[in-house]
Structure 1
Amino acid sequence: MDALADLLAGVRARSAAFCRSVLEPPWALRIADGARLALVTVTRGHAWLVPDEDREPEVGGEPGVVRPLRIDEGQVAVIKGPAPHIVADEVDTPPSVVVGPGNRLTTVDGADLTEEFRRTWAGRESPDSSVLVTGTYSVTGDVGARLLAALPDAALVRAADIASPVLDLLIAELDDPGPGQQAVLDRLLDLALVETVRTWLGGQRGDAPGWFRAQGDPVVGEALRLIHDEPGAPWTVAALAARTGVSRAAFARRFAVLVGTPPMSYLADWRMTVAADLLRGTDDTADTIARTVGYANAFAFSAAFKRHRGVSPRAHRIGDR
């Protein structure tokens, strides 16, 4: 498995909050559902993605640092949460509907609008309508957090640049539902995220994360696949160099240049990321997890985890429950 596949494996649609909305101007929705990641595609008209005035600033940043982003017909945006944001026909249109957890819709004063919205805002299209298809994802654990760290607040691509017809399949399924629709939508939504993120990263060229750019290198890409496939193997610089067919010095230099970190540092970080998710997501013992991520016993693993994360494996596991 490559590095991107591993990160995307931590992101899944489960009973996805997924809908197709027909919106007549003026319209504006305040999205406050707490989703860590959402996908929005415009199939008619346009939409503005506007930072919410209550958005918390980034560390070292300022409120409102993210500029409004226009999403045109035929474009797809992956939006990073969980901070609220506004989707509107124009930048200055005030929101009249709030989208909360579970796709519950209310007025800004809290009155429930869910059924009314479904009757009146998801109806027939007019020449002035904007049509949005949206879905949200569950992102859990440290592996999912690594993916979020690689994305901007909103990643925008053209649907035409996505090689897969997945968006057409999504829209077709919404228009003509059949048995098992929820499972179909969940799987299509997973694929839509994979294709959109891959397309966006591929268009970043030199600005993409080092691990993504390096996947196309015959030497470093192979080393990354080995590390991700077998994080518990007794890897050394010499062993990885031998498997990729270059000298130890050439491998270490090439890996550091392309990925941006030495191979053993990358390996240690990935092992601790995998271990952190195993601690929180399974009941495996520390000894079992230690062997899974390449440590001889629980004592050696515990020392490495505390050095890397600042807390013991036990404290990490208890603190997340």
Structure 2
Amino acid sequence: MSYKAIQTALSKVSESGVIQGALRGKHGHQPTIDPQIKQSVIDFINSIPKIESHYSRAQTKRQYISSEKSLADIYRDYKQLREKDGLAIATSSTFNRILNTEFNTSFFITKKDQCDLCERYKNSDSEEKRNLSQEYEQHQNEKVLARTEKDNDKSRADGTIVAVYDLQAVLQIPKGQISLFFYKSRINCLNFTIRNLRAKEAMCYFWDETEGKRGPIEIGSCILDYVKAQVDQNPNKEIEIIFYSDNCGGPQKNKFLLSAYAYAVNKLKVKSITHKLKVTTSIVSLRNKLIDTCSRVQSIYQSNIKR
């Protein structure tokens, strides 16, 4: 340590023997953002339509911007809008900082369900994999048993209806990458799909946010309508139905869905309804076949309206 550093430190000692704290960056003359420019960024970000989380909306208030455009695209649109009106423009770094610090917002990326244990094992190092090996092996055995159970249900010869259902991620309409669509107020739509695994037939229930939400009442209404349709298709016998679904507590484990099942068994020509909840990713591929088909159709529609 040089003598000058010691001398500087001693010069900052007060009469009580306390050394004055560092004053770097505390001069008070840092550049500031013009309040009007900052407000223009906030107003622009607020004008972008957003959606809630599909999987964890009960645990987070984070909202999502459609991934049809990147952050650079959005800033470019902001810049063009301000230039058109002859107004001052925030820099891209300022725009990004305001978006990241003053909004609980990120870009929405549609993804399939992932098994927590499988992903944790896949991304672990050698030591962690050894610690997880027993649990992981048991997990793999459970997946085999679950798939065997599903295959046995599909191969039943007694006419039992075996179906899998799921709710697709929120769809925003209209959809497109041009600014005319992207910054317009869009309506959130929901698509609930039920697929008969044996007959390889599917039904889609589609509604928008003005007609209903995505809670157990809406899900139960769709399932009850599906059961009634199956009863109408089999007027000469009592039907048996086996449903497969994910293990989401909100839509699947509630009194409303149980009431719908009880009503169907007591009031309709339904002998029994069995609901099997997944404990692994074993039914994800079955469910996603229909969801992926819907997404591909949506992508085709989107590609036809690109500029």
TM-score (norm 1): 0.22
Q: Which of structures 1 and 2 has the larger relative contact order (alpha carbons within 8 angstroms, sep 6+)?
A: 1
Structure number with larger C-alpha Rg? 2
TM-score (norm 2): 0.22
